[in-house]
Amino acid sequence: MSRTLTIEVCYALPGEQTLIELQLPQGATLGQAIDASGILAQHPGIDLTKQKTGVFGKLKPLDTVLADHDRVEIYRPLIVDPKLARQRRVEKSRQEGSVEGRKWLHRDSR
């Protein structure tokens, strides 16, 4: 008896998210799920040689065997280093008068 898996394949852009549910045979891989979903035709900008993939937020290679109800994710490349982006946000908030990240000075330090 051949069991089928219910898998979701998702890809998110800043303004839109594509989520495709499909049925695959047991033993199907992450790469097979992406191929079967047709998401590469919907988003021709996806380049699996450069972009990372995963299952439920954990990086996984294309040959990973899937389990029932897994969500396959295709990740967009980062445009800005996350640490640099946070530093810029802190600097901007400081310019606007925030004290985030500053050391507090105590008046009665002895």
* Pair 11, 39: CB distance under 8 Å: yes
Alpha helices in the chain (DSSP H): 30-37, 39-42, 82-95
Q: What is the pLDDT of residues 48-90, one digit of tens each?
A: 999 999 999 999 999 999 999 999 999 987 777 778 878 888 8
| Domains (range + CATH), the chain | 4-74 (3.10.20.30)
Instruction: Give the Cβ contact number of residue 31 at 10 Å.
Output: 15
pTM here?
0.70
pLDDT in tens, 81-103: 778 878 888 888 888 776 655 55
Q: What is the DSSP letter of 65?
A: B
Please measure the distance between the N-terminal and C-terminal CA atoms of the chain and give it in whole angstroms: 79
Q: Which residue has the tokens 């946070």?
A: 86
Cα separation, 75 vs 64, whole angstroms: 16
